[in-house]
Structure 1
Amino acid sequence: MPRRTWSSRLLDVSAVLVPGIGRVRAQKEPFARSWASANRLALASGRPLWVALGDSMTQGIGAHDVDGGWVPRLNARLGRPFAVLNLSASGARIQDVLDAQLPHLPEAPTLVTVLVGANDMLTPSRRRDVPARFATLLERLPPGRSVVATLPQGNAEARAVNALLDEAGAHGRIEVADMRGPALGPLRGSLASDWFHPNDVGYESIAGIFEGPVRACLARRARD
């Protein structure tokens, strides 16, 4: 039986004290099963592939259902041109994207999005080496077809990651979905009942943040 971590035990206690935490956590397995089924259909569809990498926010945890997350919302805004291969996982950190998600990236996807880092920001020990890990992630993404979100936190590690993203964006390797400052809008009314994940309102905001960079990425590819 796998060893329980201190953070997982703390979440168990918190779920008792704050019922909303338990309700949101209960979405993890059904959402993962839903995406796994959708992924099989996406790979067999022959349609242009959008590969979504990241953590529970790319799974859509906190939304009313799996279609309420930012990925389905943005695909709808774009006219549903993509079959979505969602390789994200709840609880994922940057190293998990490197080790468990990128190795499954299909050859020449039309679009790749990355929204990860929130779980790396939770404690000082987790933040250690985050810029170096993110630099490795950027090196492994397909250039010219990737959109990567900045980190909204204001600590030194987040600022260092965002500087890497700005540089990669300036050189045309990626498009940047900027979640800094007021981009996400007010927290009030945009969080799920666990007070951590977005709700439908929050995911609509994230879809809006990604829409412009995704359209720019697709337009650049069409010109090239």
Structure 2
Amino acid sequence: MKKWGLLFLLLLYCAGCSSRQTINIESLPEREVKLAPRTVADDFFPKDIRLLALGDSLTEGVGDHEQKGGYVSRLRQRFLQHKGVRTLSVINLGKRGLRLSQLDPIVAKNLDEVRKADLIFITIGGNDIMKIVRSHFFDLSYTLFAKEQKRFAKRLDHLLATIRATNRDATIVLVGLYNPFSSSLPNIPEIDDVIELWNNGSKAVLARYDRTIFVNVKDLFDGRDDVLYSDQFHPNEVGYELIARRVYEQLEQHEQMWLGRLEE
């Protein structure tokens, strides 16, 4: 009889332990598990890039003895070495002698290419300055260039608005002006300041738009005849290489802009 009593007490004790254990487990607060998102580098998945080049003879590559297509083709080689770029297609619509007012019709005729582009490069303005020089050679002044620069800025703003209305995501890169006129225009000692004025004006226009980059190349040509073609106006192969290098440096600094995923 005593054995049955002891067995009964033992069963009651075990049941109590099990009950207390169940209550303790159920009373534990639920643990919040937060999974932190892991950032994936922009170049983790190589991309297919479409590049559209617009503008004047610098985009066409006039003066390049090596016939490599100026700065655009040299840039292409750098892009293809980038681990974030799988393929690069290039549409070059550069045309010698082109002024800013003549660029609008080209854009209008190629809206489909504008729409598809991931990167849009522009060189423009040198022929606009040359038009002023030819039209007012005997009465050139800083004031005249400053007045024309304001008109140029309005046209540039219109061009960018057209491009942005067609393609809101492409990164637009404008290559600034350099000064090849120091020796050829002795009657305008302020020509260096004129180039600075036009570059600063263009840079200010670009600043009104997202995903734009202004590339200053003026310092690459200052006091250097060895980077100019025999016409002393266009870059030679050395000059184009310097431009390509400077543009690519700027693109590396803004890699998130053109290589990163677009936010919806």
User: TM-score, with normalisation over the residues of structure 1?
Assistant: 0.68
Question: Residue 175 of structure 2 is aligned with which of 131, 137, 149?
Answer: 149
Paired letter, 1:86: N
Q: Which residue of 2 aligns with 1:73?
A: 74
Paired letter, 2:71: W
**Over residues 133-164 of structure 1, what are the superposed CA-to-partner deviations in whole Å (9 max), with x where a residue is unaligned?**
11212222335511112233545586256334
Tell me how far apart the structure 2 counterparts of residues 195 and 57 of structure 1 sit (CA, whole Å): 13
Q: Would the alpha carbon gap of residues 87 and 218 (structure 1) be closer, same or farther in structure 2, given more than 3 Å must change?
A: farther
Q: Which runs of 5+ in 1 are unaligned?
A: 1-46
Q: CA deviation at 1:74?
A: 0.9
Q: Would the alpha carbon gap of residues 162 and 173 (structure 1) be closer, same or farther in structure 2, given more than 3 Å must change?
A: farther
Bigger radius of gyration among the two: 2
* Contact persistence 1:114–1:147 (CA under 8 A): yes
Correspondence 1:213 to 2:250: yes
Correspondence 1:138 to 2:160: yes
Question: Residue 99 of structure 1 is aligned with which of 100, 105, 113?
Answer: 105
Q: Would the alpha carbon gap of residues 116 and 110 (structure 1) be closer, same or farther in structure 2, given more than 3 Å must change?
A: same
Q: Which runs of 5+ in 2 are unaligned?
A: 1-47, 82-86, 137-144, 180-191
* Contact persistence 1:147–1:213 (CA under 8 A): no
Aligned positions of 1:52-67 closer than 5 A: 52-67=53-68
Tell me how far apart the structure 2 counterparts of residues 177 and 55 of structure 1 sit (CA, whole Å): 16
State the Cα RMSD in Å.
2.7
State the identity %.
Answer: 27
Comparing 87-96 with 163-172, greater Cα deviation is found at 163-172
Secondary structure of the 2:120 match is strand
Aligned positions of 1:1-224 closer than 5 A: 48-79=49-80, 81-105=87-111, 106=113, 107-124=115-132, 128=148, 129-142=151-164, 143=168, 144-152=170-178, 154=192, 159-160=197-198, 162-166=200-204, 168-169=206-207, 172-180=210-218, 182-184=219-221, 186-221=223-258, 222-224=260-262
Q: CA deviation at 1:188?
A: 2.0
Tell me how far apart the structure 2 counterparts of residues 177 and 157 of structure 1 sit (CA, whole Å): 14
Comparing 204-213 with 145-154, greater Cα deviation is found at 145-154
